[in-house]
Amino acid sequence: MKLSFLVLLIPVLLLLGSCDTESSEAISQREIRDLYYELALDFNLGNVYGMLDKVHNDYLHKGNIVWHLNQEILDRMARFQLLEIEVLYIEFQGSRYAVAHTRDRYSSAIEDLSYNEPESSGYFSYLYRDNGTWLIYGNQLWVKK
C-alpha cells in the first residue's frame, strides 16, 4: 500500500514542481509584445483589417476616433512598405491599462523614418485589457482633464 502511494505521489510532485508560476505582469508583457509583433506583421502584409482588429471599439486618441487611425495607417502604408516595432518598455497602470514605449521604424525604397512612441503621436501606444485581450485604446486621459 505504501509503495503504491509513493509511486503515485512522485509523478504528482513532479507535475506540481514543473508548473509555470509566471506573474500576471510578465504574462501581460509577453501578450503586449506579441500584439506589436502582429501589428507590424499586418502592416508589412498590407493587412489594414488585421491591424484594426487589434483596436478596441471605444478607441479615442486625443479626440481622434478609429476612422482617423484608419486614415493614418493607410497614409503610412502608402508611404512605407515595412514597419518594425521595438518595444522598449511597458508601463502598467493597474491591471487593465498600459502604455507601451516603442521605437517604430518605417522604411521604403527611398526613405526611412523612426518614431519614438508615445512621444511622437502615440496612436498605437495606449492599451486596454478587455475580456482577457490587450487592445489598442488610445490616450483618453485628455477627456478627463
Tell me which DSSP letter residue 19 carries. S
For helices 66-79 and 24-45, angle between their N-to-C axes, nearest 10 degrees? 60
Q: Please give the pLDDT value at position 56.
A: 96
The rounded radius of gyration (Å) of the Cα atoms in the chain is: 21
* 31-44 pLDDT per residue, tens: 999 999 999 999 99
Tell me how far the alpha carbon of residue 131 is from its chain's centroid.
15
Q: Does residue 10 belong to any structural domain of this protein? A: no
Question: What is the mean pLDDT of the segment spanning 126-133?
Answer: 95
CATH number at residue 97: 3.10.450.50
Domain count, the chain: 1
Higher per-residue pLDDT: 124 or 16: 124
> What was the pLDDT predicted at 63?
87
Does residue 114 fall inside a structural domain? yes
**pLDDT tens-digit map of 107-125:** 999 999 999 999 988 999 9
Decide if 1 is inside a domain. Answer: no
Would you say residue 65 lies in a domain?
Answer: yes
Is 11 a domain residue?
A: no
Confidence class for position 140, pLDDT limits 50, 70, 90: confident
Is the residue at 13 inside a domain? no
Report the distance separating Cα 21 and Cα 133, nearest Å: 20
Examine residue 129 and state whether it is found in any structural domain, yes or no.
yes
Write out the residue range of the structural domain in which residue 121 sits.
Answer: 23-144
pLDDT tens-digit profile of 57-97? 999 998 889 999 999 999 999 999 999 999 999 999 999 99
Residue 8 lies in a domain: no
